[in-house]
Chain A
Amino acid sequence: MDLFNPLLLYAGCALGAVGVAVALPRRGINPQVVGGLIAAVAFGLIMLALARSLDHLPTVTFYIFGVIAVGGALRVISHPRPVYSALYFILTILASSGLYLLLSAEFMAFALVIVYAGAILITYLFVIMLATETPTADEVEALAEYDRYSREPIFATATGFVLIAVLGTALAGGRGAGSLTPATRYAAGRHLSELSVRVERSLREAKLIEPGEHIIVNDSLGRPAIDVEGGTILVGRSGAEAGQTEARIIPREQWPADVHLNNTEGVAFSLLSSHPGAIEIAGVILLMAMLGAVVLARKRVDLDEQARAEADRRQLVDPVVGGSS
């Protein structure tokens, strides 16, 4: 079953292409506000194309964050000043992190804000400010020529929106999201049984176990201490008193609210127990990037080849001048 209305989607893509092409910096008149409005209508059409039935629609927050993210992205590519582009990119990042929160990926949402908005974008801003042509005295507000005019705005926009239409059809169509069945079981939850210290602490805070009682790790019957599938936690006294009291079972109905695997723990288990090799490789990549950046930045480049050839020639003609300088 198709999850979208193809006619509305393609109309939205065509209108969006017009809007973006109008908003991109061009020679002559450049009505960015008009382009932005057209693009906003196109965004509405595309979202309307996905709303075939009123069931299972995402919440209002999704649409708010979506508008902010797409609008920020549009400003990134249409603003003639690079510093503003970078700042609008931060806006897109913040909206994406809001979308991550809606998808209950809290750890990645905050990591995104810290790493992207905090570190990567600051590097970009530094380089933008470092590598800007100094304007001459008579033109204080000058924009570089390559920032004022974009390259092939119409063909590029057409290409981009054809890609968006194809991707939208593929992802929301019959063989995309429509053919998938949503998972109903949270597989990573079983890792909760490896966190006995934390579970015991929250049981103690909820006053479900008395002082001196612990989660029984080695039960004589061979039952698991924390059984997430069965919904039982075994507690009892350990050591010398163990023989006197039977281990008792705390059923799932009595578990305190924080006895579940939270997002950060889930990501940690996935990262460190399922993909331990990949994190090593990521570390190596970061190390190589750091070395490469240091090597590139240390290289002294003062002159173009032409200018250097000129300097060499001068040195050859007059070795005294070349040697003393």
Chain B
Amino acid sequence: MTGFASAMSALTGAATLTLGQSDFPHPMHQVTLAHYLVLSALLFGIGLIGFITRRNLIIMFLCTELMFQAAGLALIAFSRFHLNHTGETFVIFVLTIAAAEAAMALALVVLLFRRRETLDASAWSELRG
């Protein structure tokens, strides 16, 4: 573990090194936080675009997972910024919800596919209200 930590420290540079010394020795600056938040906004936006544009039901659900991922990154970044573990705990619940959603949604997709022999979301457009 120490070998791994020192290898990572050589990789990441000493300035923001936190690995292997996880009692969060360095406060995180707002600028660094803003980078992570904008990256998570980018991932969320790409997931949203995919959800709107793709017509394959499975890819649409994959794009919701992408949005979950973006939310998780923001939570971890805030957790690091505020030096407590509540954000990381929330990511565990995000993972739980994602797993539950994958199980349910994919069972539903298989059911829909067996009925219509297509994964096209617009094949079910008569379901709209």
A residues bordering B, Cβ < 8 Å?
3-4, 20, 24, 43, 46-47, 50, 52-53, 55-62, 66, 69-70, 73-74, 76-77, 82, 85-86, 89, 92-93, 96, 99-108, 111-112, 115-116, 119-120, 123-124, 127-128, 130-133, 144-147, 149-153, 156-157, 159-161, 163-164, 167-168, 171-172, 176-178, 180, 182-189, 257, 260-263, 266-267, 269-271, 274-275, 278, 282, 285-286, 288-290, 292-293, 296-297, 299, 301-302, 304
Contact = CB atoms under 8 A, between A and B. Distances in A.
Given A56-B32, A116-B95, 17 more contacts: A56-B30, A70-B46, A85-B59, A92-B66, A147-B56, A147-B59, A149-B55, A150-B55, A152-B53, A171-B34, A171-B41, A176-B37, A270-B85, A270-B88, A275-B89, A286-B99, A292-B107
A183 B50 contact: no
B85 A269 contact: yes
A66 B110 CA distance: 34
Contacts of A43: 42
B35 to A, nearest CB: 5
A122 to B, nearest CB: 10
A123 B31 contact: no
B58 A270 contact: no
Interface of B: 8, 11-13, 15-16, 18-19, 21-24, 27-39, 41-50, 52-56, 58-59, 61-63, 65-66, 69, 72-73, 76-77, 79-86, 88-89, 91-93, 95-104, 106-111, 113-122
A159 B48 contact: yes
16 contacts: A50-B35, A66-B39, A73-B43, A73-B46, A77-B50, A103-B80, A104-B18, A104-B80, A144-B119, A156-B49, A172-B38, A177-B34, A178-B30, A187-B84, A270-B86, A297-B110
A266 B54 contact: no
Given A146-B55, A267-B89, A59 B29 contact: no
Contact of A133 (B52, B83, B91, B117): B117
A10 to B, nearest CB: 13
B110 A130 contact: yes
Interface centre among B13, B56, B111, by most A CB within 10 Å? B56
Contacts of A164: 41-42, 44-45
Contacts of B106: 123-124, 127, 293
Nearest to B113: A131
Contacts of B122: 146, 151
B49 A20 contact: yes
Contacts of B103: 123, 289-290, 292-293
Contacts of B118: 133, 144, 146
Contacts of A55: 29, 31
A116 B46 contact: no
A57 to B, nearest CB: 7
Contacts, number: 332
A222 B32 CA distance: 43
B34 to A, nearest CB: 4
Nearest to B114: A301
Contacts of B8: 101
Contacts of A290: 103
Nearest to A305: B115
B109 to A, nearest CB: 6
A69 B39 contact: yes
Given A260-B23, A271-B92, A289-B100, A103 B110 contact: no
A11 to B, nearest CB: 14
Nearest to B83: A183
A245 to B, nearest CB: 31
A77 B46 contact: yes
A170 to B, nearest CB: 9
A76 B30 contact: no
Nearest to A125: B58
A301 B115 contact: yes
